[in-house]
Amino acid sequence: MTKQLRKFSILGAAAALSVVLAVPFAVSTTAAEAPVTEVRNQGVADAPDVDRGLEFLVSDYETRVPTKYTADSWAPFAKALTTASDVADDTSATTSEVADAKTALMTTAADLEAADEGTFQTITNNTFWNDTSGNPIYSQGGGVFKFGDTYYWYGVHYTGAESYRANPTQKYDNQVSFVSIPVYSSKDLVNWKFENRVATRSTGVGDGANLGGAGWVGRLGVSYNENTGKYVLAVQMWHTSRGGHGVLLLQGDSPTDTFDYGYFQTQITNSPTTGTGDQTVFTDDDGKDYLIFSNREGRSRGFVAKFRESDSLRIEPGVEIRRGDGREGNAMFKLDGKYYHAASDLHGWNTSVNYVNESTSSNVQGSYSSEYVLAGTEMDYSHVTQTGFFVTVNGTKQSTVIYAGDRWADFAWNGIGYNQWVPITKSGARPQFHSVSQWQFNVTTGEWRVGPANNYILNPDIQADRIIVSSVRGWRNLGGSVTNVNGGVNGSRFALQISNSGGVEQRRESVPAGTYALGLHARGSAGRVVITGANGSQRTLSIPSSSGWAKRELTGIELPSGAVTVTVRASGSGGVVVDQLSLVKTSDDDPPLPGQRYEAETAPAVCDGTIDSNHSGYSGSGFCNGDNAVGSVVQFTVTPEAAGTATLGVRFANGATSARSANVVVNGTTVGTVSFEPTGAWSTWSTKSLNVPLNAGSNTIRLDPTTTAGLANIDYLDVGPGA
Ligand code: GCU
Ligand code: CA
C-alpha cells in the first residue's frame, strides 16, 4: 500500500513537471535566434540537390535483380517499372500519370516476394547506433514508413543528441535546437543508409519564415498521396511568426527528396486547442494514412484523423478514440487485424510503461477498449524508454511489431543509446512487449529470436525510475533499506544501494538452458548476489567491500530452462552499491537441452478461464480451468532454440465422464487434434504427448476445444528437444 501511494505521488509530480516542460520547448534557444532569410530548397553539402521525382525512383528500382524474387511477384513489378520508365521519359506526362506510375511501381514493389527465407539481422540496444557509413544516426520522434520494397526512417536531429553522444554522463536539458530531419533507408530494418536531409533549418514554412526560426520541431511522419504522387511529411511545429502551435505539412517528389512547404495547420477540428500533444503517422494496410495525436494542453484525449484525400495537405477533423489521464508519445500499431493505440505517461521523454487502448471494431476511427498496461513494459518501463513509434512487419511466417522506443538525452540521462527497439508479438488475446537488450530479426519471415549477447536482467542500470525511489522498477524489496543513489558506474546516473542487511530480487520467468555469466560493478560494504535456477540450483557471487567501483563476475553458471531469480543482498548494516548487472549466456551446448516446462498459470501463457488450485496434484501454483465453451483456449508461448519437430507433453486432468477434444494450433495453424480422456477424478493427472513442428524462437501453441464441453483442466506443457 505504501508502495502504491508513493507511486501515485511520483506520477503526480511527473505529470505536473510535464506541463512545465511543455513551456521550455517553446522558449528553447532557437526561438531567440534572429530569423534567417528563407532559402528555398537549399542543397546540403553531402547530398547533391538532384531531381528525386519519378526518374529517381525508376533508377532506384532498376537495381532490383529478378532472380531474388518469385516469378509471380516479379511479373507485375517488371510491368510497372517499364510503364514508369516510359512516363518518366515523357515530358508531356500529366501530374496524374506520374502519380499513377509511382503508385503502381510502389505497390508492385511492396508485393515483391523474396525467393529465399531471408536472414536474421542483429539489433543491439543500449548502444549508440550508426548508419551504414559509420556516422551517428540522429533520429528522434519520427517514424519508419515502407514505400515500395524499402523502409524509410525519418526523425529529428537535435543538438542535444550530439552533446549526449559525445559525453553521456550528464543531462542536457532543453538542448532541443533543431538541426535537420534526416531520412535513412533500409531493406531489413536493421542496417540504415543515410539518404538525405529532407528538411533543414532553411526549409521554408510559409510567410517567409523557416524551420530554423521555429521554437519547436518534432514528432513527425510521412504519408504518400496517390492523387498527387507526393510524399507528405507532417511535423509538429511551434513558430511565433506562423501563428503558434500546429502541424506543418511539407512535401517531396520521392521518399528522399528535399521537401518543400505545403501548409501549416494550427487547428485540427475537434481538438480542444491548437497544435497536437504528441503525434505520429499511422499507415493502414490499405495505404490510408492517419495522424494519431493527443490534444496539446493536458493531453487527456486521443485522436485519429485522416489526411485530406486529394493531396494530404490538410488534417481532417479528429475522431476522439480515448479520454482519461494525460498521455503522450501517441502511436498506433495493427496486429492480427486489431488496432492498438499506445501512449506513455507525461514524463517529457522519460521512461514510462505503455498504455494501450485496443480497437473493438474493424475501424481505426471506431471504438476502443479502456486503457491497459502493455504486458512486458512494467518491469523496466518499456526498456527504459518513452513510446516512439511502431513498425508492423507481416512476414511469410509471422507478424511482428517493432516497438521503437525513444530514450533521449534531454531531461533523461537514462543510459546509452537513443533508439531502443524491441519486438511485440501477440500472446493469446493481448500483445506482449519483449524487453530484450539484443535480438535478431528476419524481415522476410517476420521471425525473431533473442540475441546471443542478450542481458536477461531487466533495469540492470537502475535508470528506469528516473528519480530517487525506495523500491526500484523490476526489483522486489526483501527488507532492509533499498534505494537508488546518484552516481552510477562509468558516469551513469544511478546505482542501487542496499543496506541494513536488506536485499532485492528479480525473477525472470523463462531463460533458455545454458551456461551463463553474472557480472556487476560494486562499491561500498560487502554483499552477495545469489542466482537460483528453475531446478533450485544456486550459485553465489560474493562482493567484498571496496571503496571504489570494482567489477565482479561469476562464470560457468549452469541454468536449466525456466525461471531464474537473481538476489542482491547487503551482508551487514553498511550499504553495498551495485550497478550494471548482467546475466548473459556464454554457451548453450552444455548441459544438453533438457526440454522446457511451461506452466499454464504463468505468463505469457493464456488461460481463457480461471487459474484454479482446488484440485491437488498440479505442478507450480495452479492449473488452467478453461471455460466450458468452444473458443476457450489455453495458449503457451514457447521458445525452442532450434527449429524441428518437438515432442510436447500436455499434463491434464479430466474428472468428467467423457473425453474432451481439442485442436492443436501452432503459430495460428491447426496441426492436429488431441483427446483428453477421463482420468477418473479432477485430482488425477495424466500426460498426453504429441509431435508438432516448431520454429526457432517464439512460437504459440494453442489447445482449442472442439466442443462446448471445453478443455480438460490443463497443468503445464513440456516441450522436448527437436526430434
Ligand atoms: C468442475 C471442476 C473444474 C472443471 C469443471 C469442468 O467444476 O471442479 O475444475 O474445470 O468441472 O467440467 O470443466
Ligand atoms: Ca472447466
Cβ–Cβ under 8 Å, residues 484 and 492: no
**What CATH number does residue 293 fall under?**
2.115.10.20
Q: φ, ψ for residue 150 (rounded to 5)?
A: -125, 140
Residues near ion ligand 2 (CB < 5 Å) are 625
In a domain, 544, yes or no: yes
Q: Distance between CA 636 and CA 644 in Å, rounded?
A: 17
pLDDT given at position 259: 97
| Stronger pLDDT, 657 or 643, i.e. the higher one | 657
**What CATH number does residue 616 fall under?**
2.60.120.260
Q: Looking at the structure, do residues 487 and 428 belong to the same domain, yes or no?
A: no
- What confidence category does residue 690 fall into, taking pLDDT thresholds of 50, 70 and 90? confident
Domain boundary among 533, 553, 585: 585
Q: Looking at the structure, do residues 191 and 275 belong to the same domain, yes or no?
A: yes
Q: Looking at the structure, do residues 562 and 645 belong to the same domain, yes or no?
A: no
Q: Looking at the structure, do residues 505 and 404 belong to the same domain, yes or no?
A: no
Q: Looking at the structure, do residues 443 and 482 belong to the same domain, yes or no?
A: no
Cell of 163: 552533446
pLDDT given at position 677: 95
Question: Among 123, 118, 86, which residue's Cα sits nearest to residue 105?
Answer: 86
In a domain, 8, yes or no: no
Q: Looking at the structure, do residues 541 and 682 belong to the same domain, yes or no?
A: no
**Whether the model pTM is above 0.95:** no
pLDDT given at position 428: 84
pLDDT given at position 42: 37
Cβ–Cβ under 8 Å, residues 119 and 447: no
Domain boundary among 555, 585, 615: 585
Cell of 260: 518543400
- Give the Å distance between the CA of 534 and the centre of ligand 1: 29
Residues above pLDDT 90, as percent of the chain: 83
Q: What is the pLDDT of residues 355-387, one digit of tens each?
A: 999 999 999 999 999 999 999 999 999 999 999
Q: Looking at the structure, do residues 614 and 581 belong to the same domain, yes or no?
A: no
Q: What is the pLDDT of residues 480-515, one digit of tens each?
A: 999 999 999 999 999 999 999 999 999 999 999 999
- What confidence category does residue 540 fall into, taking pLDDT thresholds of 50, 70 and 90? very high
Cell of 456: 536477461
Residues having CB closer than 6 A to ligand 1 are 612, 615, 625, 628, 656, 682, 710, 713
Ligand 1 atom 5 nearest Cα: 625
In a domain, 715, yes or no: yes
Q: Distance between CA 625 and CA 628 in Å, rounded?
A: 9
Question: Residues 21, 25, 31, CA angle at the centre, nearest 5°?
Answer: 150
In a domain, 568, yes or no: yes
- Give the Å distance between the CA of 625 and the centre of ligand 1: 7
Q: φ, ψ for residue 133 (rounded to 5)?
A: -95, 0
In which domain, by residue range, is 677 found? 596-721
Q: What is the pLDDT of residues 129-160, one digit of tens each?
A: 999 999 999 999 999 999 999 999 999 999 99
Closest atom, ligand 1, to C-alpha of 609 = 10
Q: Looking at the structure, do residues 362 and 502 belong to the same domain, yes or no?
A: no
Query: If DSSP codes are grouped into helix, strand and coil, which group holds residue 220?
Result: strand
Q: Facing residues of 540 across strands?
A: 530
Q: CB under 8 Å to 253, separation ≥6 — which residues?
A: 51, 52, 53, 54, 56, 229, 230, 231
Q: Looking at the structure, do residues 573 and 622 belong to the same domain, yes or no?
A: no
Q: Looking at the structure, do residues 520 and 604 belong to the same domain, yes or no?
A: no
Q: Distance between CA 680 and CA 686 in Å, rounded?
A: 10
pLDDT given at position 641: 76
Q: Distance between CA 210 and CA 248 in Å, rounded?
A: 11
Q: What is the pLDDT of residues 96-141, one digit of tens each?
A: 999 999 999 999 999 999 999 999 999 999 999 999 999 999 999 9
**Is the confidence at residue 530, as pLDDT, over 50?**
yes
Q: Looking at the structure, do residues 600 and 578 belong to the same domain, yes or no?
A: no
Number of domains the chain contains: 3
Burial of 452 (0-12, 13-18, 19+ CB in 10 A): middle
DSSP 334-402: EETTEEEEEEE-S-SS-----EEEEBSSS-TTS-BPPPEEPBTSTTTHHHH-EEEEEEEEE-SS-EEEE
Residues above pLDDT 70, as percent of the chain: 91
Ligand 1 atom 2 nearest Cα: 682
Mean model confidence pLDDT for the chain: 90
pLDDT given at position 156: 96
In a domain, 509, yes or no: yes
Q: φ, ψ for residue 406 (rounded to 5)?
A: -110, 115
In a domain, 29, yes or no: no
**Is the confidence at residue 258, as pLDDT, over 60?**
yes
Q: Looking at the structure, do residues 354 and 249 belong to the same domain, yes or no?
A: yes
pLDDT given at position 410: 63
In a domain, 382, yes or no: yes
Q: Distance between CA 374 and CA 435 in Å, rounded?
A: 12
- What confidence category does residue 25 fall into, taking pLDDT thresholds of 50, 70 and 90? very low
- What confidence category does residue 347 fall into, taking pLDDT thresholds of 50, 70 and 90? confident
pLDDT given at position 640: 80
Q: Distance between CA 694 and CA 291 in Å, rounded?
A: 39
In a domain, 115, yes or no: no
Domain boundary among 543, 563, 585: 585
pLDDT given at position 50: 57
- Give the Å distance between the CA of 645 and the centre of ligand 2: 30
